[in-house]
A and B are shown apart, each in its own frame.
Chain A
């Protein structure tokens, strides 16, 4: 596996979305052998963590569910 190939797969690897065990093994072997790709993985991990923990999550207003229920003619969930 080349560095270019590995970098294309790092995100999917972190997401647990590389489903073929052989490819997972190739990625892990490549990371273990290559400092640059290991650093890329570390940087990508940090960036994803920043998005997950620091991006705002816009919760629906509490009144929205009751309004939808009323409009739909429903009284309970």
Chain B
């Protein structure tokens, strides 16, 4: 079946966006059925970005947000340079805990979070991520760069708060 090989990826993406198991399961099931209604075939190249695009949009619909609202919010939250990042080698001396990484990811606005999840957890190419998110590849690259800046900021802050 076209969508079943990608259910883990779909659930992972929806779960990160929705932050709730039951909502993610419901959204993925509905998205899968919608996908199957539109096409029934064996696995084809490009099925994963196509299916994840449906899941992503269904997740955002579920949240009751529109892409334009998300984009506006993103542009209003430009990254502010943090002087602690001038000493990035300090971030190498202590390993981060999983809970710190999860918290830093959950602190990202969804337009940043979804791209990090698709790249670093789903190992998708920028071109594939562009297909999932309906963005130009250049925007994917710049948004990922900004997302990673924010993650570095958050992880550095978690070290300081943790007194490590």
Count of residues in A whose CB is under 8 Å from the partner chain: 34
- Contact residue among B4, B92, B101, B126 (Cβ-Cβ distance under 8 Å from A54): B101
Bound together, the chains give a CA A44 to CA B89 distance in angstroms of: 10
Provide the residues of chain B in CB contact with A29, threshold 8 Å.
Answer: none
B12 at the interface (CB under 8 A from A): yes
- Contact residue among A12, A17, A64, A72 (Cβ-Cβ distance under 8 Å from B7): A64
A47 and B148: CB pair below 8 A? Answer: yes
Within the complex, what minimum Cβ distance (angstroms) separates B152 from chain A? 5
Across the A-B interface, how many residue pairs have beta carbons closer than 8 Å? Answer: 116
Bound together, the chains give a CA A61 to CA B92 distance in angstroms of: 35
| Given A11-B145, A17-B126, A39-B88, also A51-B7 (CB < 8 A) | no
A50 and B96: CB pair below 8 A? Answer: yes
Within the complex, what minimum Cβ distance (angstroms) separates A39 from chain B? 5
Provide the residues of chain B in CB contact with A71, threshold 8 Å.
Answer: 29, 33
A1 at the interface (CB under 8 A from B): no
B144 at the interface (CB under 8 A from A): yes
Quick one: closest A residue to B116, CB to CB? A51
A64 and B101: CB pair below 8 A? Answer: no
Count of residues in B whose CB is under 8 Å from the partner chain: 44
Provide the residues of chain B in CB contact with A68, threshold 8 Å.
Answer: 1, 3-4, 7, 29, 32-33, 36
Bound together, the chains give a CA A76 to CA B3 distance in angstroms of: 12
Provide the residues of chain B in CB contact with A12, threshold 8 Å.
Answer: 126, 141, 144-145
- Contact residue among B29, B91, B120, B142 (Cβ-Cβ distance under 8 Å from A52): B120
B88 and A64: CB pair below 8 A? Answer: no
Interface set of B (CB-CB < 8 Å, partner A):
1, 3-5, 7-8, 10-12, 15-16, 21, 24-25, 28-29, 32-33, 36, 88-89, 91-92, 95-98, 101-102, 105, 116, 119-121, 125-126, 141-142, 144-145, 148, 151-152, 155
A-B contact pairs, 22 of them (CB 8 A): A8-B142, A11-B145, A11-B148, A40-B88, A43-B88, A43-B89, A44-B148, A47-B148, A47-B151, A48-B120, A51-B101, A54-B96, A54-B97, A55-B101, A55-B120, A58-B21, A60-B7, A60-B8, A60-B12, A61-B21, A64-B28, A69-B4
